[in-house]
Chains A and B, each alone.
Chain A
């Protein structure tokens, strides 16, 4: 199985400051079709997961443009340009290239 690791696991941030979460996979996530199926999800307390980013860098409709995804191969990053209070929650990366699908352990973002 592809192992997804995230760092840090806990990220206290100051409102208005940037934040960055790293996600690494144990194998390349480039699919045979040329796509890289790396997603980012936000899960606010008590809510269902919400997809923010798909295929590395494509932001979902309605997701603020302060969120951005980047990376390739086995190394990926989610960046928040200026953290707002509503960004508190747990962020997961997930790979959809290899079966079984696997998630990172999650990064808990809260406000300092």
Chain B
């Protein structure tokens, strides 16, 4: 059974950093691109970024709203994808979800809440 578990969320002040993790099980992690999406409280879904599999170059792409501040990485040996979030803004407050695949994300984690507030 495919499982994705996000962790690392919490309350953080504007301008600070936070790193989210997405731990995967139930599939060959290294074979898949991993995506990150978010949902602000009471709002819709927004794509944040994704990282390709190593076979496809292992590079990452980002939404304009987070480019230059967020970095996605992966450790295939640990089956974990990371979302490093720097220079956080109040508008980054959201539930962050990781997904297996990104163009057709079929599996989603339960999400982790990030609250950016002074």
Contact = CB atoms under 8 A, between A and B. Distances in A.
Contacts of B44: 92, 103-106
Interface of B: 37, 44-47, 61, 63-64, 97, 102-106, 108-111
**Looking at B64, B97, B106, which has the most chain A CB atoms within 10 Å of its CB?**
B106
Interface residues of A, number: 23
A103 B45 contact: yes
Nearest to B64: A100
A39 B104 contact: yes
Contacts, number: 47
Contacts of B106: 51, 54, 60
Nearest to A97: B103
A25 to B, nearest CB: 15
29 contacts: A39-B105, A43-B45, A48-B97, A48-B109, A48-B110, A48-B111, A49-B37, A49-B45, A50-B108, A51-B104, A51-B105, A51-B108, A54-B106, A55-B104, A60-B106, A92-B44, A92-B45, A96-B102, A96-B103, A97-B103, A100-B63, A100-B64, A101-B102, A101-B103, A103-B44, A103-B45, A103-B46, A105-B44, A106-B45
Contacts of A55: 104
A102 interface: yes
Interface centre among B37, B61, B103, B111 (most CB of A within 10 A): B103
